[in-house]
Structure 1
Amino acid sequence: MSEEASKRPPKLSRLDKAAIFLLSLGESDAAAILKHMGPKEVQRVGSAMAGLRTVHREQVQEVMGDFIEVVGDQTGLGVGADGYIRTMLTQALGEDKANSLVDRILLGGSTSGLDSLKWMEPRAVADVIRYEHPQIQAIVVAYLDPDMAAEVVGYFDHKVRLDVLLRVASLNTVQPSALKELNEILEKQFAGNSNTTRANMGGIKRTADIMNFLESSTESQLIEAIREMDEDLSSKIEDLMFVFDNLSEVDDRGIQALLREVSSEVLIVALKGADDDIKEKIFRNMSKRASELLQDDLEAKGPVRISEVEAAQKEILTIARRMADAGEIVLGGKGGEEMI
């Protein structure tokens, strides 16, 4: 790797840029922005802000653009950020939710209510529902965002995971009265307040979304087990899943948009385990200079554990799905929609 390449500051993802931008604003303005985000987004950007320690001048210029004169040479970002984050989140969310979220970001904590399950650590959610009836477990798992649901079921053994996901696949709607009763039970357990009217959840697509976020070995094991029980169901689930190899079927514009959101370090590790078609797709959608630097970095990168490669690929897929949900790219292959 060239000396020039080694001195380059890490490439900023959209999440990094959001964290730097919010830390550059006043607490009131940042809080006003956070009020428009859901728990998943607030937790993600809050964690990014808490993790900032060193911010390069070039990175601030990239984020702030014309405001670099105001920011100055010394940003101070990441220094004493804990107090800033606590005050900002309290203004945005209220003291109860903010305290629990700050604990999750900085220490690791939990909160209350059915809707507030999304603010909890996945392990804590798994512990809450571990001894509940499997149908209750399925409703809770279907209610969570797919990536969090995958982490929750990851804390169960194989037999329970299989049972829960099969129930999620057959779950399409839940009677409002049943959902209200479950919510009230959780409210009493957590001594909090939360209201919900959501009744549509679950189904094969939801199961596929959850499967996408499982560890590769766990995913393969579950698909095989489902196939043995119901081959038609397993085929439907697989048809709705999107895996790393399917990136080769994303159009060039989509790949270019995706690359702007992925850090160089994650991309390098992910490509260590990718086939030649994927690599060629990536190289072709970069500038000649950037492509050469990436290939140099790949050659210079030593052996990488398979688990690290899978984790990096999962991270890229998470970004790709988020962008697809926002309508920024169209995913091809499994999970993609037909265009007319």
Structure 2
Amino acid sequence: MEEMSQADRAALLLFALGEERASAVLKHMDAREVQLIGYSMARLRDISPDMINVVLGEVIPAVKHQTSLGVDSDGYIRSVLIQSLGEDKATSVIERIFLSTESKGIEQLKYLDPKSISDLVRLEHPQIGAIILSMLGNDKAAEVMQRIPEHIRSDLMLRIATMQGVQPGALRELDAIMEKQLSGSVAVKATTIGGIEAAASILNFMDGSASNLVLKKISESDAELATKIQDKMFVFEDLTSLSGSDMQTLLREVPTELLLLALRGSSDELKEKIYANMSKRAAEILRDDLEASPPAKLSDVEKSQKEILSIAKQLMDSGIIIFSVEEGDELI
């Protein structure tokens, strides 16, 4: 047991809790944490009672007799994630979990720093580079894109946005590349990655000027596609569409200093929505501090807004908050 990671221990605990309780626990985690623990759950085999007892002894002795030994781990993981995230969101996470367990080369991507990945993407065929970027978390993919030469970015984003899934042969080719360069190996299975939403999510995490330039280049090649990507992008002003309770949930996660900087230059509508979902005293203090604050650099304001959007997106991915949209519109 000493060799087991914290993620492995958490996975054992979730097996012990049963599907319903495990789903309830996962709802309070962000997508990255769910993927990490799901990966550990998928790897665990030959779970013994002693392993369960040790973990329960460390965490919650009260659930010692509520184990889920003997379950089909793949089916269990799928059921738990679907219950906690919903079928659409869970599908992407599930595919990445099982792809990671069966493809050691590709799995090693997450351990590389952004500079190393950007060097890899820059030297590979653009389609391979697009697949690599699509398999990273959106924030890390954005860091990688920032390090890639500008004349390559738009082509990569265009390929990501138009990707309709990846066939096993393409993933085997990618895994072979990882095996050669990162000592990875083994075969892989098909998964659904890329697409307009993936491109929009990566652009959301890039600097405003950089993402705008990429969109402009894509528009020159395919104006309709650029519009579709932009429609899926999540901007700071979109927070006005949050319900009152969801806005309150978000504000509890955002430091006051970060909010104060992010609200510089934002619309009166968004400011009033935020004030309305704070206590009267807190709203008065924020309003006064905002009026008394000295000018700030646009880059600093944009950075703070992106940090808040990142928090909001984690809450969205976990199903904790949703967006209220007009009839006929899609949820983002």
Distance in 2 between the 1:233 and 1:332 partners? 25
1:274 maps to amino acid: S
Q: Alignment partner for residue 9 of structure 2, among 15, 26, 32? A: 32
Q: Does 1:304 align with 2:296?
A: yes
Q: Does 1:318 align with 2:310?
A: yes
Distance in 2 between the 1:38 and 1:115 partners? 20
Percent identity over paired residues: 44
Partner of 1:265 in structure 2?
257
**C-alpha distance after superposition, 1:254-306 (max 9, x if no partner):** 11111111111111110113121111111110001111222233234322111
Partner of 1:227 in structure 2?
219
Task: Output aligned runs, 1:87-98, within 5 Å.
Answer: none
Verify the 8 A CA contact 2:31 2:317 in the aligned structure 1: no
Q: Alignment partner for residue 117 of structure 1, among 109, 112, 121? A: 109
Distance in 1 between the 2:209 and 2:275 partners? 29
| Cα offset, 1:177, TM superposition | 2.3
Provide runs of 4+ in structure 1 moved above 6 Å. 27-31, 34-39
**C-alpha distance after superposition, 1:141-198 (max 9, x if no partner):** 1111222111111111221000000111111111112202211221221124576435
SS at match of 2:206: coil
Range with greater deviation from structure 2 (325-334 or 197-206): 325-334
Verify the 8 A CA contact 2:176 2:184 in the aligned structure 1: no
Verify the 8 A CA contact 2:114 2:144 in the aligned structure 1: yes
Partner of 1:236 in structure 2?
228
SS at match of 1:286: coil
Task: Output aligned runs, 1:64-213, within 5 Å.
Answer: 113-192=105-184, 196-213=188-205
SS at match of 2:234: coil
Q: Alignment partner for residue 250 of structure 1, among 234, 242, 267? A: 242
Distance in 2 between the 1:158 and 1:168 partners? 16
SS at match of 1:329: coil
Q: Does 1:286 align with 2:263?
A: no
Verify the 8 A CA contact 1:268 1:298 in the aligned structure 2: yes
Cα root mean square deviation, aligned: 2.9
Structure 1 pair 160–29 and aligned structure 2 pair: CA distance change class (3 A): closer
Partner of 1:18 in structure 2?
none
Structure 1 pair 224–264 and aligned structure 2 pair: CA distance change class (3 A): same
Distance in 1 between the 2:176 and 2:170 partners? 10
Verify the 8 A CA contact 2:106 2:184 in the aligned structure 1: no
Verify the 8 A CA contact 2:154 2:215 in the aligned structure 1: no
1:32 maps to amino acid: R
**C-alpha distance after superposition, 1:48-97 (max 9, x if no partner):** xxxxxxxxxxxxxxxxxxxxxxxxxxxxxxxxxxxxxxxxxxxxxxxxxx
| Cα offset, 1:33, TM superposition | 3.5
| Cα offset, 1:331, TM superposition | 2.5
5+ residue gaps, structure 2, are 15-28, 37-103
SS at match of 2:160: helix
